[in-house]
Amino acid sequence: MVQFAEVFSDEQIVSALGRQLESEFGRAFSAKCLRHMIRSAEVFPNLQIVQSLITQLGSTHILHMIFNRSTNYSFLELKPSITFGKSV
């Protein structure tokens, strides 16, 4: 039996899933948005940090952080209870 992942590339899977979800739930679940979600989870695996970033930064800043691969944001993991000078 051929494995599903061997037949389809990651991009094909995300594109097909994006089309299906977008038709059911709207543009927030397009293939492009799914790719952003995947990359976000790779860059910021800690949900608490992501929630703090979303409330304190604009979407342009968030996208820059997600797609600027040359910057290491591991410093955000050092003190998860304190972000940007505010106590969580």
Beta bridge partners of 60: none
Q: What would the pLDDT profile of 51-84 be if each residue is shown by its tens digit?
A: 777 788 777 777 777 777 656 665 555 444 444 5
Reported pTM? 0.59
Q: Over the stretch 7-63, which tens digit does the pLDDT of each residue have? A: 788 889 999 999 999 999 999 999 999 998 888 888 778 777 777 777 887 777 777
CA distances to 1, 5, 34, 79 from 38, rounded to whole Å, are 28, 17, 6, 24
What pLDDT shows up at residue 47? 79
- The predicted structure's pLDDT at residue 48: 79
